[in-house]
Amino acid sequence: MRIRRLNHSVYQIQYHLVWGTKYRRKFLKHYVRKELIRSLYQIQRKYPDWYFHKINTGEDHVHLLIEIPPKYSISKVVQVLKSVTSAHILKKFKFIRHIYRNNIANNKSGVWSVGYFVSTVGLNEEQIKKYIDNQNKYDLGFDISSEFS
């Protein structure tokens, strides 16, 4: 992990973020994943001090290893990430709008579930990177349990 510097602070903070699709719907196929990642990097242009170390998905959840300065609360970061990516995905894919048509019609939130998981990254940074890298391997039947011993 690199040490980052701002005018009045020096920090080394990484978060492992995970959130799922609403109702655990499995729509994060490779072409949706590509647009999700594009949307995340568009967010990074607006917030250049946010740095994505790793991005990966399963078919129904997203994993990020992100570094943000201490001036942002993690809840604000998650709010921005989920709202912007949800709007982008809904705009881009008609079949996803169809899946969530009742929620959209009733002005309920978009494609992501309400909650999220977050943990800070410390000495186990490499282990978390491997875990995120291997997310899609669960669906392919690989046993990666040895990485966690």
- Helix (H/G/I), strand (E/B), else coil: 5: strand
Residue 1 confidence (pLDDT): 63
In this structure, what CATH number is given to the domain that contains residue 114?
Answer: 3.30.70.1290
> What is the pTM for the complete model shown?
0.79
Selected catalytic residue, list 15, 116, 131, 138: 131
Query: CB count, 10 Å around CB of 105?
Result: 8
List the one residue out of 133, 38, 46, 23 whose CA is nearest residue 93.
Answer: 38
Q: What is the pLDDT of residues 55-113, one digit of tens each?
A: 999 999 999 999 999 999 999 999 999 999 999 999 999 888 888 776 665 556 689 99
Task: Give the structural domain span for 103.
Answer: 4-148
- Helix (H/G/I), strand (E/B), else coil: 91: helix
Average pLDDT score over the chain = 85
Domains of the chain: total: 1
**Residue 131 annotated as catalytic:** yes
